[in-house]
């Protein structure tokens, strides 16, 4: 499996010749949109910076909401959470997606706005790769994200939804989260197999700008 960060909460996940994009955005967000054909997209909620599925090339299957979905070798389970700490009263519902492919369990947290309950953590099952918002303001902040990492204990954590030079509004910098860990790895993309998952949690910051220079 290969994964690249497109910016914000959007990742390109490639497996078996198929492409899945999480939380697609349009160009007004500040990042350049992905310009190749896509097979599947997941949408955590309907806010404009996470739901531009209609802009994607090809005819991707659009996965929204809770339930189980099996598409092109990707097994996807949607879990209902909230976009805020007030049970959705401020910003509505957020869907967390567990994406299982090549025996790797990936969890995309969307715009999660609260720390999960013990029952919610238990319902997620095993998580190998955690894609986690850390920029605060509209989602959990660095301290809350740290709590979530400790509760889930994944093999790899990839922060998302934080401030960058391209983003058109302000969030907290990723360093507020990464400073809580002794070692942080920075790389252009992640290519990994189930048998190569680390035994101790690794924090990996992916570089969305690597695709801009190609």
What's the whole-number average pLDDT of the chain?
A: 95
**96 with 102: CB under 8 angstroms?**
no
For the chain, which domains are there?
2-213 (3.60.15.10)
pLDDT one-digit tens code per residue, 140-175: 999 999 999 999 999 999 999 999 999 999 999 999
- Taking the C-alpha atoms of residue 174 and residue 99, their distance in angstroms, rounded to an integer, is 24
Position 213 scores a pLDDT of 58
Length of the chain measured in residues: 214
Q: Which residues of 104-133 are buried (b: 16+ CB within 10 A; e: fewer)?
A: bbbbbbbbbbbebeeeeeeebeebbbbbbb
Structure tokens at 11: 């990742």
Position 88 scores a pLDDT of 85
**78 with 65: CB under 8 angstroms?**
yes
Position 48 scores a pLDDT of 79
User: Which one-letter DSSP state was computed for residue 37?
Assistant: B
pLDDT one-digit tens code per residue, 64-104: 999 999 999 999 999 999 898 998 888 889 999 999 999 99
**171 with 137: CB under 8 angstroms?**
yes
User: Which one-letter DSSP state was computed for residue 120?
Assistant: H
């Amino acid at each position: 499996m290969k994964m690249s960060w497109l910016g914000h909460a959007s990742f390109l996940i490639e497996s078996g010749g198929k492409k899945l994009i999480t939380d697609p955005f349009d160009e007004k967000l500040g990042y350049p949109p992905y310009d190749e054909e896509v097979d599947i997209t997941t949408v955590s909620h309907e806010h404009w910076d996470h739901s531009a599925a209609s802009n994607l090339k090809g005819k991707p299957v659009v996965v929204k909401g809770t339930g189980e979905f099996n598409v092109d070798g990707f097994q996807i389970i949607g879990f209902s959470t909230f976009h805020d700490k007030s049970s959705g009263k401020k910003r509505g519902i957020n869907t967390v997606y567990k994406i299982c492919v090549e025996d790797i369990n990936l969890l995309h947290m969307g715009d999660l706005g609260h720390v999960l309950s013990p029952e919610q953590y238990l319902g997620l099952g095993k998580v190998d790769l955690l894609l986690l918002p850390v920029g605060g303001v509209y989602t959990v902040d660095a301290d809350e994200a740290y709590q979530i990492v400790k509760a889930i204990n994944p093999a790899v954590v990839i922060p998302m939804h934080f401030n960058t030079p391209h983003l058109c509004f302000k969030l907290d910098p990723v360093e507020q989260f990464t400073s809580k860990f002794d070692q942080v790895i920075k790389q252009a993309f992640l290519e990994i197999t189930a048998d190569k998952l680390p035994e101790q949690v690794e924090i990996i910051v992916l570089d969305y700008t690597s695709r801009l220079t190609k």
